[in-house]
């Protein structure tokens, strides 16, 4: 069964020659980088499968319990309900720097054998070898590294204990080291070990520890073994030892900042970084601090937010560093962490207030992600006994999806965990990571600076870089495209020769099929059919008496977005009394001109017809926008119509009607608002008001009025509903609206 050349498949789903030899960096056919995903497998039958065998037609056995996924582009087998035993892995997702993640399963063919659990993000190098066990690497390690490894284990103790998997930290072979970083092979569920057990595990290590730290380590371990020491005290002592031994070493820090617009010229650059070319000199924060912020929010909001965040965070950190230098004692890591968190809350409030002051709502609200590295120079007495100016502590702070990586010659390791929907789903044990990534909103942010609690930032991930076909032949793209392209980062295209007139005309020679929304939907579907795309936008207008104000004509515009990939339909709407919709039967050119003046001609076009109900196209002259044309058309109809009269009306097609174009623009903005309103339950866009409850009480007599007391939001995807009381901001109605006080 052992093949001479192992094969790995290109992850590009449309690659025509996906097979490549294992070890190649990129696909020979399409140049897509190849992924060598080595898995650590768990299950009673897993150990018995021999090297060279292929499992489930995709996993190649490299070594006992180490499998290579030869089809890394494909989703692994994931059961419908999440097995209880993997829940600790999911809940501990935030610790992914040290812990493996569940990849998927190989389901057993027989009753007798268990399913096999596949773990990724395991301590295996890119050639498929396990990183060495901590115990094995121990003696070659420097004093600082030895202490740092133990420090990391102690940091993991609490979170792992809470989920009943702290035993994982007691098994020597389970603890692996990749450079400075301690990484676990798997999680072990058994018993509730105490800190004493951990001390006993460390005993053989401290005996062979480097001499500079051996005595102090022994003291710490003795306390642990006594069974009387508190975790907190042990952690403080170990931290003190770590800082004191690190402070002996020279420290070299270099920072540099650069920002790039990226390949899409459409998108403005909303990043801000520190340092940047123009502030690199004479700043006391350098080289201790580096910041990257990526702004979010319409109309320059993102740029403003990211700049605001960088400036405020610099002030905060300057104050923090000052405070730290004034301390006689070592400031412990949990305290520093709290201080950094407090700084971020301040910045969050600054941006939030800025949003409120500028009355920014919905997409206009600005926010920013942040990642910051802060090197805190605590003064400390070294293990050798001299005063050092720096204890070599580096803190990483991140909110949103700005990231920090650890890059070496051999690997590039992500150090931060994004605040996005995929992470949220995994941490709540609702989904495996690979499964969560399949969600259309996987990369939507659950946190950013400047947002209020619970706000979800979809970051337009759903429509990012997609082509949207706009079904129009009346130049509606002039108002629709700029808005959607800038806000949703999609590319709006208008198909050539797309005749929307077959779906009805305002001049009635072609009847409209169904109601307004149905007609728009039909246009959108037709556009998708024609182009083979998956995202379409269509609009439809109607004119008639205003539903609430009698004797006034109105224009209702709908702009509909149809997304076949996410099975979404969202409709933006605008009802406006602002319209020139009108008609008149005339018997002379003079009468025609009087009418024309009233309806905003020639900016607004006119139509001249034989009769109000034309039989066919030949009896309709559309798009009249000059006096000569008007005279010509009216004379022609007066001469040839059987009645000797001409029917005049306003041309309602968008390109000949600026007033209507404005209303289409407003409907597009409404569409955008609805897209940006996401369901709190499933986070799909289109969480919109579906009904209004009247009865806002009168401020004087408390009787219910006809004003809105509450609105109901409903998700059209999952059906989740939410009531919002007093949507207009006031709990009482003015008595002028009351039937009793003001009948």
Binding site for Zn ion (CB under 5 A): 10, 12, 15, 27, 29-30, 32, 679, 681-682, 698, 700-701, 715, 717-718, 720, 735, 738, 740-741
Chain centroid to CA 426: 15
Show the beta-strand stretches assigned E in 121-178: 175-178
* Min dist. Cβ of residue 157 to Zn ion (A): 39
The Cα–Cα gap between 533 and 521 comes to 15
**Closest to Zn ion by CB, 501 or 681:** 681
* Min dist. Cβ of residue 441 to Zn ion (A): 10
Helix, strand or coil for residue 144? helix
Give me 100's structure tokens. 């493996």
Question: Is residue 37 a contact partner of residue 68, using CB atoms and an 8 Å limit?
Answer: yes
- Environment class of 181 (CB within 10 Å of its CB; exposed 0-12, middle 13-18, buried 19+): middle
**Closest to Zn ion by CB, 193 or 686:** 686
The Cα–Cα gap between 160 and 169 comes to 9
Rounded alpha-carbon distances, angstroms, from residue 303 to 271, 298, 355, 487: 7, 9, 13, 14
For the chain, give the number of residues: 743
The Cα–Cα gap between 127 and 114 comes to 28
Radius of gyration of the chain (CA): 34
**Closest to Zn ion by CB, 343 or 688:** 688
**Closest to Zn ion by CB, 26 or 613:** 26
* Min dist. Cβ of residue 10 to Zn ion (A): 3
* Min dist. Cβ of residue 718 to Zn ion (A): 3
Question: Is residue 536 a contact partner of residue 527, using CB atoms and an 8 Å limit?
Answer: yes
CB count in 10 Å sphere of residue 371:
22
* Min dist. Cβ of residue 555 to Zn ion (A): 32
* Min dist. Cβ of residue 742 to Zn ion (A): 7
**Closest to Zn ion by CB, 669 or 717:** 717
**Closest to Zn ion by CB, 201 or 707:** 707
Start-end of H helices in 495-626: 516-531, 589-598
* Min dist. Cβ of residue 676 to Zn ion (A): 14
**Closest to Zn ion by CB, 37 or 717:** 717
* Min dist. Cβ of residue 611 to Zn ion (A): 50
**Closest to Zn ion by CB, 115 or 681:** 681
* Min dist. Cβ of residue 715 to Zn ion (A): 3
Name beta bridge partners: 218: none
**Closest to Zn ion by CB, 564 or 721:** 721
* Min dist. Cβ of residue 56 to Zn ion (A): 22
Name beta bridge partners: 491: 467
- Sort residue 56 into left (φ over 0), alpha (ψ -120 to 50) or beta: left
Helix, strand or coil for residue 732? coil
Helix, strand or coil for residue 582? coil
∠ Cα 151 395 353 (to 5°): 140
Start-end of H helices in 450-608: 477-488, 516-531, 589-598
**DSSP H or E stretch at residue 587:** none
**Closest to Zn ion by CB, 65 or 717:** 717
**Closest to Zn ion by CB, 406 or 732:** 732
The Cα–Cα gap between 705 and 699 comes to 10
**DSSP H or E stretch at residue 373:** strand 367-376
The Cα–Cα gap between 402 and 394 comes to 17
Give me 643's structure tokens. 């009645």
Give me 613's structure tokens. 């109900």
The Cα–Cα gap between 166 and 123 comes to 18
**Closest to Zn ion by CB, 30 or 417:** 30
* Min dist. Cβ of residue 728 to Zn ion (A): 17
Give me 81's structure tokens. 């309900």
**Closest to Zn ion by CB, 207 or 718:** 718
* Min dist. Cβ of residue 740 to Zn ion (A): 5
**DSSP H or E stretch at residue 117:** strand 116-120
* Min dist. Cβ of residue 103 to Zn ion (A): 22
């Amino acid at each position: 069964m052992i093949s001479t050349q192992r094969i790995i498949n290109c992850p590009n789903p449309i690659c025509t020659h996906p097979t490549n030899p294992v070890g190649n960096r990129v696909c020979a056919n399409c140049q897509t980088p190849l992924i060598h995903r080595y898995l650590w497998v768990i299950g009673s039958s897993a150990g018995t499968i021999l090297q060279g065998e292929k499992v489930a037609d995709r996993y190649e056995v490299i070594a006992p319990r180490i499998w290579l996924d030869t089809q890394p582009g494909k989703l692994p087998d994931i059961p419908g309900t999440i097995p209880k035993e993997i829940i600790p892995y999911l809940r501990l997702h935030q610790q992914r720097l040290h812990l493996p993640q569940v990849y998927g399963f190989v389901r057993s063919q027989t009753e007798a054998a268990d399913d096999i659990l596949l773990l990724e993000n395991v301590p295996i190098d890119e050639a498929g070898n396990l990183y060495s066990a901590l115990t094995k690497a121990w003696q070659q390690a420097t004093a600082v590294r030895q202490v740092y490894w133990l420090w990391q284990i102690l940091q993991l103790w609490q979170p792992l204990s809470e989920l009943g998997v702290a035993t994982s930290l007691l098994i020597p072979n389970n603890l692996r080291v990749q450079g400075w970083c301690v990484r676990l092979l798997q999680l072990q569920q058994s018993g509730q070990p105490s800190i004493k057990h951990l001390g006993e595990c460390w005993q053989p290590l401290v005996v062979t520890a480097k001499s500079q730290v051996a005595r102090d380590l022994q003291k710490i371990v003795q306390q642990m073994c006594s069974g009387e020491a508190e975790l907190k005290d042990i952690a403080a002592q170990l931290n003190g030892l770590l800082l004191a031994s690190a402070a002996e070493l020279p420290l070299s820090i270099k920072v540099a900042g650069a920002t790039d617009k990226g390949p899409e010229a459409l998108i403005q650059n909303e990043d801000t970084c520190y340092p940047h070319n123009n502030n690199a000199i004479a700043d006391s924060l350098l080289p201790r601090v580096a910041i990257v912020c990526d702004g979010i929010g319409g109309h320059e909001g993102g740029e403003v937010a990211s700049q605001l965040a960088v400036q405020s965070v610099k002030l905060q950190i300057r104050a923090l560093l000052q405070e730290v230098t004034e301390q006689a004692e070592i400031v412990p890591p949990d305290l520093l962490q709290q201080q950094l968190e407090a700084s971020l809350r301040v910045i969050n409030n600054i941006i939030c207030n800025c949003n409120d002051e500028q009355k920014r709502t919905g997409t206009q609200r600005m926010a920013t992600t942040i990642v910051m590295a802060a090197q805190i120079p605590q003064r400390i007495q070294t293990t050798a006994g001299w005063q050092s100016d720096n204890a070599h502590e580096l803190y990483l702070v991140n909110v949103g999806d700005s990231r920090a990586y650890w890059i070496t010659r051999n690997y590039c390791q992500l150090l931060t965990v994004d605040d996005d929907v995929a992470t949220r789903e995994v941490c709540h044990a609702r989904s495996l990571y690979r499964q969560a990534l399949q969600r259309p909103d996987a990369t939507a942010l659950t946190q950013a600076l400047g947002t209020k609690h619970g706000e979800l930032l979809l970051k337009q991930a759903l429509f990012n870089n997609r082509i949207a076909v706009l079904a129009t032949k009346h130049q509606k793209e002039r108002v629709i495209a700029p808005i959607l392209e800038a806000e949703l980062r999609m590319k709006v295209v208008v198909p050539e020769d797309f005749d929307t007139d077959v779906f009805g005309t305002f001049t009635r020679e072609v009847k409209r099929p169904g109601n307004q929304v149905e007609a728009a939907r039909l246009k959108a579907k037709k556009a998708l059919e024609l182009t083979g795309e998956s995202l379409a936008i269509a609009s439809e207008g109607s004119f008639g008496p205003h539903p609430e104000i009698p004797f006034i004509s109105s224009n209702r515009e709908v702009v509909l977005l149809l997304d076949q990939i996410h099975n979404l339909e969202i409709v933006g709407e605008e009802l406006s009394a602002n319209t020139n919709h009108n008609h008149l039967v005339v018997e002379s050119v003079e009468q025609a001109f009087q009418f024309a003046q009233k309806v905003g001609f020639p900016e607004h076009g006119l139509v001249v017809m034989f009769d109000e109900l034309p039989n066919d196209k030949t009896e309709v002259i559309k798009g009249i926008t000059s006096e000569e044309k008007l005279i010509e058309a009216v004379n022609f109809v007066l001469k040839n119509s059987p009645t000797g009269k001409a029917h005049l009306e306003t041309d309602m097609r968008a390109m000949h009607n600026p007033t209507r174009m404005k209303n289409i623009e407003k409907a597009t903005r409404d569409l955008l608002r609805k897209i940006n309103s996401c369901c709190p339950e499933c986070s799909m866009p289109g969480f919109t008001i579906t009904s209004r409850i009247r009865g806002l009480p009168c401020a004087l007599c408390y009787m219910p009025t006809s004003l809105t007391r509450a609105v109901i939001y409903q998700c059209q995807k999952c059906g989740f509903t939410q009531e919002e009381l007093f949507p207009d901001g006031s709990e009482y109605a003015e008595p002028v609206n009351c039937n009793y006080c003001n009948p």
